[in-house]
Chains A and B, each alone.
Chain A
Amino acid sequence: MSESTQSALELRGIVKRFGGVAAVEDVSLAVAPGEVLALIGENGAGKSTLIQIACGLYRSDAGEVRMNGALLPAGEPSAAIAAGLGVVYQHFMLVGPLTVWENVVLGREPRRRGVGAALGLVDRDRARGEVADCAKRAGLAIDVDAPAESLSVAAQQRVEIIKQLWRGARVLILDEPTAVLSSSEADELLRTVRGLAAEGRGVIFISHKLREVLRVADRVAVLRRGRLVMTAQATETTAEALAEAVLGAAARSAEGKAVLGVAPTRAATTDARAPSPGAAAELIGRPPNLLQEADTKSAPRLVARDLVCTDNRGRPALRGLNLELRAGEILGIAGVDGNGQTELAEVLTGLRNCAGALLLDGEDGLAPHGWARDPALARARGVVHLPADRHRLALCGLLSLEENLSLGHQREEPWAHGMFIDRAGRRARANELLAAFDVRPADPLARAGDLSGGNQQKLVAARELSDLRARLVIAVQPSRGLDFHATSRVHSALTAARDAGAAVLVVSLDLDELRALADRIAVLYEGRVAGLCAPDASDAVLGPLMLGNTSAAATIAQTGAQQGRAQTEASRG
């Protein structure tokens, strides 16, 4: 162990410019052995650039990186790794068919001794044993013989962490590790992170979520526009103070905090909603609050009865799901990833076959040519979709922004005129939408694939949520990978669609997001609704439901649903 006074990793006066733009401006940071340092800031605040400089992928324009006091040569990733710096990226780099232990040792397999060494044979037993030991020491539950592709996202992340540990990392950088996890998985990860620090490792933990940052970190550093604007002991700061630092002085308290999950109560979000839907609501062209009163008494917009379907591998995904959704309501779908959320969204948008009964305003979707049999028919009935996998399912990366905005509407005014594309109309409408949803760059000829993740999602939201006929909105992980402003933009568009009379279904792994958005929360477990809750349901209520503890669920569901409805009405009245 090195002395505790010395920093494990230290960045001094780092400056990095791209073109004339400073991505990182004179940032100095250090993490001590045994310390968890949280690094927070918006998309584009310079977090990634800083990390890439630390691990040698970028060469900084000024400043130096030191590991245990020793200067690291700039721009040499191998030196950083040799010095014990390990990074777990958001996108995992695992070879699907290989087992966990094979993935961990890949590239530096232990050789057999003796004759085997001459032949370059891999000492499989030793490799497997070392990986299993390493996992056990760090308290990471994993089946080392399972193929990587069979693992859940959370387990794949554990493999990446084990890989770094096995390679001797003394400082671990985790890049938004909880973005892909459900809340219980995130809790598990936070415990792991504390454990790693307790063993004397330094950890840099990057996140958008202030509450978990305050739980896991010893110190918090905030980057804004490339500058370090704040560092504080986690015990001496609050989520509000951090939100202020992240968003800058201009941050309006209510909006920012709701998005950040600082104040995820019903009252705060309704307040926040009032000023924000402006642009989106105008585009939709209907006054908000139009359908508020009528809804509770009208027939439900969407009724799902006994839905059954399989996933891509033919295993049961939905196993008798029942759901009702009213116009002018946001129903949140909570649950651990892989309990049928994706399949439910695909069924409702016509992308996946299922059995059961599915009614949209009384119209049977599962009849031979019903609306849920074909995405084109679903779309024609006003079902719009913000998929989780937006690169694949929502956008053509090679086509321009205006072409992507017209996708799905390409046969309608103002996008088309007769059998031809209305190029002038398309350009005008695209410019309107890009401005209204603040897509950057607002260049209708830019390629969709060149946009950042947040702007891609804003682009999809601009297309889907400006749809005048939207009757049912299906949004899956609508804020995954988005920064605070983009999240707030997408959230306000969703609430604007709700207020304009659409029925909205939001699937999210982030309970804070659901609490901020939803009027009711349905918890999915193994392809069924395990319970319905009020939007302010605590983790103590949601947690058991998400883990399938349905014994207590019945009563919770009853009271929760009633409470939710009562509360919704109260907040609107």
Chain B
Amino acid sequence: MASSTWRQSLFAPARAPLWSALFAILCALTICFIAILATGKDAVNGYADLLQGALGGARPLGESALKGSVLVLTGLSVTVAFTVGLFNIGAEGQFIWGALAAAVVGNALPLPAFLAIPAALGAAALAGGLWALIPAWLKTARGVHEVISTILLNWVAIDLVNGWLVSGPLSVATGSADVSVAGTAAIRDEAFLPRLFAQSGSRLDLGLPIALAIAALVWLFLTRTRRGFEWRCVGAGPDAARAQGIPNARCIAEAMFLSGALAGVAGALIILGTEHRYPGVFRTGYGFDGIAVALVGGVTAPGAVLAGFFFGALRAGSTRLQLVGIHPSFAELIQGLAVLLVAAPRIFAPLLARLRGRASVSATAGVGASSEVGGAT
């Protein structure tokens, strides 16, 4: 009951999502500014550098958009799961499987670019989607809460892929007598995502239009199609949906598959666009940040696009912070605060309302004690 209350309030479309998200981000920037000042650093220059690193020219803009594209997809992943009422904390694991699948297929299949890229993206979507079906099945068949199962499956994915596959069976050095090198072999050139503005030195690639197109399709699906509507009904009122003949378990499975597929494609964008292989050390946190993107974006597809690019810019700019001796984790602080400020009112409002209710009940009960004494005399 308690969890469904805050879940529903999170799921409820905010009255003015853009508005409250902007306000939260402004507050987060202010608080972080004060925090930097408190550490005795030059906050003004720090913010100037952050801005420079995020938006100052073609290359920084490209970096922001590049990272933003990936975050848009992981944000959409969490958003899609939310529409059926599930909180997918597992985008990170699905992201990793997608990245690995893209690296393997991009390396293995000798195809022309117009086939190699879709094949790698498709494999990534499939890998991420299948991984996400595990918590969906656990939820519908066994009643395991998806927050628990998706969190735990993240670590299973991380250890299986990073700890074993890419340093063992799928490692580039396997089969040769050389010292073992972690990470897969490089993908074929045909599978590289073409860079859009290569001459300007920007690394921005085809991932941006891909992410935007996917976001548009997800938005269209969720708001305009029958099935999208049925998913939302399952999220908004599972019992009512079932009573009206909507198959809950199937909708949950479909939505979790799409959720995982989106996170998987996000992983593929990194591999096909910039890494070009699954590296030995690959801990990006894009999947986890997708939760932040979805929440700040008001759990809507357009919101995920806006929030994704904002956090992308923040990521791109944060490397510059080090130039003035400010730890780049302050950018993460901004992100965390923004989530807290956006989500807090919606998480805490029902809680506060309940506490207020309880306070008045216990107050009345307490006074009732003295009244009985009065009444008896």
Interface-central residue, B8, B229, B373, by most chain A CB under 10 Å: B229
- Which of the residues B232, B237, B374 comes within 8 Å of A82, measured between beta carbons? B374
CB <8 Å contact, B237 and A93? no
Contacts of B370 in A (CB 8 A): 82
Quote the shortest CB–CB distance from A256 to chain B (angstroms).
Answer: 32
Q: Indicate with 1 or 0, residue by residue over B234-267, a CB within 8 angstroms of chain A CB atoms.
A: 0011011111111100000000000000000000
- Which of the residues B13, B229, B242, B369 comes within 8 Å of A375, measured between beta carbons? B242
Among residues of B, the one whose C-beta sits closest to the C-beta of A167 is B368
B204 at the binding interface (Cβ < 8 Å): no
In the bound complex, what is the Cα–Cα distance between A169 and B12 (angstroms)?
41
CB <8 Å contact, B243 and A410? no
B199 at the binding interface (Cβ < 8 Å): no
**A393-418 with Cβ < 8 A to chain B:** 393-399, 403, 406-408, 410-411, 416
CB <8 Å contact, B244 and A375? yes
CB <8 Å contact, B229 and A396? no
In the bound complex, what is the Cα–Cα distance between A169 and B368 (angstroms)?
9
CB <8 Å contact, B361 and A107? yes
- Which of the residues B229, B364, B371 comes within 8 Å of A403, measured between beta carbons? B229
Among residues of B, the one whose C-beta sits closest to the C-beta of A418 is B226
A382 at the binding interface (Cβ < 8 Å): no
Contacts of A93 in B (CB 8 A): 361
CB <8 Å contact, A107 and B365? yes
Interface-central residue, B8, B11, B246, B364, by most chain A CB under 10 Å: B364
CB <8 Å contact, B371 and A83? yes
CB <8 Å contact, B364 and A411? no
CB <8 Å contact, A408 and B245? yes
Contacts of A403 in B (CB 8 A): 229, 232-233
A144 at the binding interface (Cβ < 8 Å): no
Chain A residues within 8 Å of chain B by Cβ, number: 46
Contacts of A385 in B (CB 8 A): 243
Question: Given that A82-B374, A83-B371, A84-B375 are known contacts, is A410 also in contact with B240, CB under 8 Å in the complex?
Answer: no
Chain B residues within 8 Å of chain A by Cβ, number: 40
- Which of the residues B236, B245, B366 comes within 8 Å of A376, measured between beta carbons? B245
B contact face: mostly helix, strand, loop, or mixed? helix
- Which of the residues A108, A351, A380, A410 comes within 8 Å of B366, measured between beta carbons? A108
In the bound complex, what is the Cα–Cα distance between A489 and B8 (angstroms)?
32
A379 at the binding interface (Cβ < 8 Å): yes
CB <8 Å contact, A410 and B226? yes
B362 at the binding interface (Cβ < 8 Å): yes
In the bound complex, what is the Cα–Cα distance between A505 and B226 (angstroms)?
31
CB <8 Å contact, A395 and B237? yes
In the bound complex, what is the Cα–Cα distance between A81 and B237 (angstroms)?
38
CB <8 Å contact, B375 and A374? no
Contacts of A77 in B (CB 8 A): 360, 363-364
**B321-377 with Cβ < 8 A to chain A:** 360-376
In the bound complex, what is the Cα–Cα distance between A396 and B224 (angstroms)?
18
Contacts of A34 in B (CB 8 A): none
CB <8 Å contact, A421 and B240? no
Contacts of B30 in A (CB 8 A): none
25 example contacts (A-B, Cβ-Cβ < 8 A) are as follows A77-B363, A78-B364, A81-B364, A82-B367, A84-B371, A84-B374, A93-B361, A107-B364, A108-B365, A167-B371, A168-B368, A168-B375, A374-B245, A376-B247, A385-B243, A393-B239, A398-B8, A398-B236, A399-B237, A407-B240, A410-B226, A410-B229, A410-B233, A419-B225, A421-B225
**B: which residues have CB within 8 A of A?**
8, 11-13, 224-227, 229-230, 232-233, 236-237, 239-247, 360-376
Additional 15 contacts, C-beta under 8 A, given A398-B13, A419-B225: A82-B371, A83-B371, A107-B368, A168-B373, A349-B243, A351-B243, A376-B245, A376-B246, A385-B243, A397-B236, A403-B232, A410-B233, A420-B224, A420-B225, A421-B226
